[in-house]
Structure 1
Amino acid sequence: MTVQGLPMTVPAADLPARVRIHEVGARDGLQNEKSTVPTEVKAEFVRRLADAGLTTIEATSFVHPKWVPQLADAEQLFPLVSELVSDLPVALPVLVPNERGLDRALALGANRVAVFASATESFAKANLNRTLDEALAMFEPVVARAKAEDVHVRGYLSMCFGDPWEGAVPVPQVVRVCKALLDMGCDELSLGDTIGVATPGHVRALLTALTEQDIPVGTLGVHFHDTYGQALSNTFAALQHGVTTVDASAGGLGGCPYAKSATGNLATEDLVWMLRGLGIDTGVDLGRLVATSVWMADRLGRPSPSRTVRALSHQEQ
């Protein structure tokens, strides 16, 4: 796909020169689909994302099929994806909910895993049926074993800004859980705005509080949902603070099955459009990425919610 009308590049001062996009479309994006997406389509989706220049693509989740039926094919998918992208410089992290999930991932050669924690009691109960501290205790042996196997561990932290049951989440509460995840050995954290209620000032306040606790900004990524149209504004605030890892989902796919008010993730194309305009390198070919999301939307039977995908694919018609 030839992309017309790319934004004029006008670099802003004091922003990172490069951002690593942590692509979550194949896992977080597809886990909520009502219809079953064939394993071969998922694998081809990852290959096309890699061809577009994305270098970190979350492939699947080794959660029990009862809880996330759409990802029940993890054992079949991961080897297929690994083979399809073996000629490309792509990392394929996978989500592991517990030690059993880690066993399954390690058996297939995964070398990057993620655990999914919560900043609030209510979401820990809804998602894991545990208190917050019980959930953290469950993750300790998972992280320890992964590190013993020289596996990179990402800690997802949901509900960092707001919770549908508890409302606004106090910044010190989020900082406490962040420190606990890093202390147990996580290599990086993804700060999740699961229901999309964050605003730039709130983002700056949390990042400032984390750095004041000597948590290096280089260990932090951000994961914004666009429920109230704030995802790009919040991302820009994070960039101003020095964050260089941003989660996004191709075509804006995804939500959260345990938070009914959560809408789609920040669309990767919308993120790339903004970063390109700011002169920030991502290594992503926007035309190929848009074509990939159009391809996937066709297979899902609905248009992409990404504004950039809609605008650029409309130019092709």
Structure 2
Amino acid sequence: MSSDTANSQRLPDRVTLVEMGARDGLQNQPEILSAEIRSELINHLARTGLQRIEAGSFVSPNAVPQMAESHKVFSLLHRQPGVTYGALTPNLKGFEAALTAGADEVAVFASASEGFSQKNINCSIAESLQRFYPVMEAAEKHGLKVRGYVSCVMGCPYDGDIHPAAVAEVAGQLWQMGCYEISLGDTIGVGTPLKAKKVLEHTSRTIPISSLAAHFHNTYGQALANVFALLEEGLAVIDSSVAGLGGCPYAPGASGNLATEDVVYMLHGMGIKTGVNMEELLKAATFICDQLGIPSRSNAGFALSSLIHPSG
């Protein structure tokens, strides 16, 4: 059996996409969109077949004004059956607001880098993890699942390269706390495929691959390659953002997330199911790019839109 055949046989038959555009994408745009526009984006996305959408973030509006009125966003949703609408909740106050708003699940985040943790949330990694225990207890009480994010898994703008063991340590603590899934984030997009595999190798020693996800930014154009490298290892949950929206205010030069259109195009081209309708996805991308007055960062989205609406 050739190595190519062996690799193809390890690829998952189906991949779950977790849509980040309405939260991680919009929170890093300079424009502050209304709750009405944000909810309409989410309603567009829910019509694509995406089953997991992070709809908002319950943080201080002074810290992240783009995520203000997330409670209103939830109230305006036309909820689709089978779609999970999640929210980022960094502390108990945020969790309580998300619970009141009707979030289906919540997420907490920690960094694999001490420097990034201090710059991002003004505390150490250990202190940030301590803040999550009340969230985990409240979530268990109310029957909500908690997702965990680990940022800077392959590099930090302040600390440089991050050792995979440091990632595995933080991810393992989130897992032991009760997070049902851990998303590994290349926040500044510096990772390459072999680095991505090493991070997964270390982390999967204590957390099943079925409970891990990839969240890759595309700063150096490596996101799709990194995703494919982890697909080969059996990873089957990918975070992505419509039109490639995103970035990181604490990571100079960091561009957007992996575009949902790009990863859907790649997966469908390999015969891997996602349940996502590309035509509806392009409509969602067109909607939000028009609202922001920016072009899409998705190569596949741009190419497919050009075929549908050729110039001249």
Give the TM-score of the pair, scaled to structure 2.
Answer: 0.94
Number of residue pairs aligned between Structure 1 and Structure 2: 303
Higher relative contact order (CA 8 A, sep 6+): 1
> C-alpha deviations, 1:272-291, integer Å up to 9, x for none?
00000110000000111012
**Which residue number in structure 1 is paired with residue 226 of structure 2?**
234
**Which residue number in structure 1 is paired with residue 3 of structure 2?**
none
The reply on whether 1:252 has 2:250 as its aligned counterpart is no
Q: Distance in 2 between matches of 1:41 and 1:216?
A: 38
Q: 1:209 to 1:254 in 2, by over 3 A?
A: same
> C-alpha deviations, 1:62-111, integer Å up to 9, x for none?
00001100111112111212xx12x4321001000111101111122223
**Which residue number in structure 2 is paired with residue 97 of structure 1?**
90
**Which residue number in structure 2 is paired with residue 279 of structure 1?**
271
**Which residue number in structure 1 is paired with residue 4 of structure 2?**
none
The reply on whether 1:62 has 2:58 as its aligned counterpart is yes
Q: Distance in 1 between matches of 2:194 and 2:141?
A: 39
The aligned amino acid for 2:115 is S
3-state secondary structure, aligned to 2:215: strand
**Contiguous gaps of at least 5 residues in structure 2:** 1-6
Q: Which aligned pairs between 1:1-317 and structure 2 lie closer than 5 A?
A: 12-81=8-77, 84-85=78-79, 87-211=80-204, 213-315=205-307, 316-317=309-310
> C-alpha deviations, 1:170-203, integer Å up to 9, x for none?
1111111111111111111000000001111011
Question: Which shifted more, 254-263 or 91-100?
Answer: 254-263
The aligned amino acid for 2:210 is G
* Kept after mapping to 2: 8 A contact 1:26/1:59: yes
> C-alpha deviations, 1:101-137, integer Å up to 9, x for none?
0111112222300001111111110111101111111
The aligned amino acid for 2:298 is S
* Kept after mapping to 1: 8 A contact 2:15/2:273: yes
**Which residue number in structure 2 is paired with residue 8 of structure 1?**
none
Q: Distance in 1 between matches of 2:98 and 2:106?
A: 8
* Kept after mapping to 2: 8 A contact 1:144/1:184: no
1:26 Cα deviation after fit:
0.5
**Contiguous gaps of at least 5 residues in structure 1:** 1-10
CA RMSD in angstroms, aligned pairs only: 1.2
The aligned amino acid for 2:65 is P
